[in-house]
Amino acid sequence: EHSSIVIHEISKLQSPEQLWSPYDWYHDMIVNNPIYYDEKQNVWNVFRYDDVNRVLSDFKLFSSIRKRSVSPIPPVITRVDINSTDPPIQRDIRKLVSSAFTPRSLKEWEPRIRGIAKELIDNMKQMNKPDMISDLAVPFPVTVISDLLGTPRQDLHYIKNWSDILFFPNSEVDVTDQAKRKYRAMSEFNEYLLPIVKEKRQNPEQDIISDLTLAAYEGTQLTDEEVVTFSLGLLAAGNETTTNLLGNMFYTFAYEQKGIYQEILSNRSLISNAIEETLRYRFPITLDRVLTMDSDVLGVPMKKGDVIVIWLGAANNDAEQFPEPNKFDIHRENSNKHLSFGKGPHFCLGAPLARLEAQIALECFIEAFADIVPTETFNPALHLHKGTQNLLTLPVELKIV
C-alpha cells in the first residue's frame, strides 16, 4: 500500500490547461460522482459542499490520526503534532499558540506588516518588469511569518526554500528521490532552528518562538525539539498558501476581470470580499481524514480505516452553495462561506493572519498603483508550479498613481 496519496492520479487533471481550469471536472464530479472511490489510490473522495463540511466538522467519525496523507510533508514525531491529532489533544496543542493569531494580537503586528508590504511595493515602482509573484507574493508572507516567529531576516531564502521542498506535491514519479529531498530539507530546517530556539530560551524576546519556549504543556515546558517542530510547522504553513492567495488575486485583476481593480480603487470596502472570493474561486486544496468506524452517513457504506480525500476547491464551486460558481464575483453575498481554511477543530489557525496580510497588501498596492494591466504574451497554464493550480510567475504592467 502507498504511504502517500497522489492527488494527480485521482483527478485526471493532466494538461496544464486543465490544472489551471479544473471547473468542468469539479462540476462533473459534483453532479455525477459526488462520493467517488478511487481504486488505484484506495481512497474515497468527496466533492460536494455539504459532504465536505460534514466530514471536516465531525472529527469523531472522520479522524486526523492517520498513516496515509495527501500532504507531502514528512510526519512529525514529537508531542506537538497539531495536524495529525484530534481533540482534546489537538485542542491543547493549539492553545500553545492560538493567542498569537487572534485578530487582537495581530493588531499589534499590523504596523510592521504594513511596513513590510510598503517596502516591497515601493521597490516595485522602480521596476521595468515587475512580477507579482517574485516581487510581492513570495517575499511578503515569508518576511511576515519569520518576523512573527523571530528568525533572522537574512535567512529568509533558506526558509522559503525548505518550505517549497516540503510542500512539493506528491507524485508517482521518483517517489524515493522526493522523499529523500523532503527528509533532508526537514532535517536541515530542524538543525537551523535548534540553536535559535536554545538562544531564545536563554534570552526571550517578543516573538512566537520565545513564547513557545516559555509555554507549558501537560505540566512541563516544551522541549527545544518540540519548539523546533512547532516553529517549523508555522514557518512552512504560513508561506506558500498566502503566496498563492496573493498571486491568484492579482491574476484575476490583471488578466481576467479588468474592471474589478478600478471598482475596488473607488470603493475600498470591497477589498475584504475580493479576498474571500479569491479564496472561494481559485484555491485548490485537498485534505484527508480516516474513518474511525463503519458508517454510511455519506450515503454509501464505508469501513473503519477507510481514507477520505476532501476536495475543498470543488466544494467551493458547488452550485448548490454558490450560484453560478464559475463567475468571480466580488459582490457575492456568501463568498466567505468558502472552505479554503478548512472547517471544524483544525480550522486554519493562521486564517486571521492570512486575511490581514492580503488586506494590507491590497491596501498598500492601491496607494501605489492606479492600474494593473496584462503584459501581452502571458499564458498562466504555462507557468504553473508543477502539478498545481498556482502561478510561479505573474508579469504585469503597473501604472503609478
Interface ranges with ligand HEM (CB under 6 A):
64, 82-83, 90, 94, 145, 233-234, 237-238, 241-242, 245, 285, 287, 340-342, 346, 348-350, 353-354
Closer by beta carbon to ligand HEM, 149 or else 372: 149
> How far, in Å, CA of 114 to CA of 188, rounded?
31
Among 78, 77, 79, 71, which Cα is nearest to 3's? 71
> How far, in Å, CA of 350 to CA of 126, rounded?
32
Closer by beta carbon to ligand HEM, 82 or else 133: 82
Instruction: Using CB atoms within 10 Å of the CB of residue 230, give its burial: 0 to 12 exposed, 13 to 18 middle, 19+ buried.
Output: buried
Q: How far is the CB of 23 from ligand HEM (least distance, A)?
A: 18
Q: How far is the CB of 102 from ligand HEM (least distance, A)?
A: 12
Closer by beta carbon to ligand HEM, 232 or else 372: 232
Closer by beta carbon to ligand HEM, 72 or else 350: 350
Contact 47, 311 (CB under 8 A): yes
Q: Tally the C-alpha atoms within 13 A of residue 319's C-alpha that lie toward its C-beta.
A: 11
Closer by beta carbon to ligand HEM, 6 or else 285: 285
For residue 88, say if its preceding peptide bond is cis, omega within 30 degrees of 0: yes
Q: How far is the CB of 89 from ligand HEM (least distance, A)?
A: 11
Select the residue whose beta carbon is closest to ligand HEM and give its number.
350
Q: Tally the C-alpha atoms within 13 A of residue 383's C-alpha that lie toward its C-beta.
A: 16
Q: What is the DSSP letter of 268?
A: G
Question: How would you classify the pairing of strands 62-63 and 286-291?
Answer: antiparallel
Closer by beta carbon to ligand HEM, 139 or else 350: 350
Q: What is the DSSP letter of 336?
A: G
For helices 156-167 and 139-149, give the axis angle rounded to 10 degrees.
110
Closer by beta carbon to ligand HEM, 264 or else 354: 354
Q: How far is the CB of 387 from ligand HEM (least distance, A)?
A: 18
Q: How far is the CB of 275 from ligand HEM (least distance, A)?
A: 9
Closer by beta carbon to ligand HEM, 13 or else 145: 145
Q: How far is the CB of 236 from ligand HEM (least distance, A)?
A: 9
Q: How far is the CB of 318 from ligand HEM (least distance, A)?
A: 17
Q: How far is the CB of 287 from ligand HEM (least distance, A)?
A: 5
Closer by beta carbon to ligand HEM, 85 or else 398: 85
Q: How far is the CB of 129 from ligand HEM (least distance, A)?
A: 26
The H or E element spanning position 309 is strand 307-311
> How far, in Å, CA of 130 to CA of 128, rounded?
6
> How far, in Å, CA of 209 to CA of 178, rounded?
29
Q: How far is the CB of 237 from ligand HEM (least distance, A)?
A: 4
Instruction: Using CB atoms within 10 Å of the CB of residue 279, give its burial: 0 to 12 exposed, 13 to 18 middle, 19+ buried.
Output: buried
Contact 304, 292 (CB under 8 A): yes
Task: State the CB neighbour count (10 A cutoff) for residue 18.
Answer: 16
CB contact set of 28 (below 8 Å; sequence gap of 6+): none
In this structure, what C-alpha cell is assigned to residue 161?
Answer: 526554500
Closer by beta carbon to ligand HEM, 48 or else 355: 355
> How far, in Å, CA of 394 to CA of 287, rounded?
27
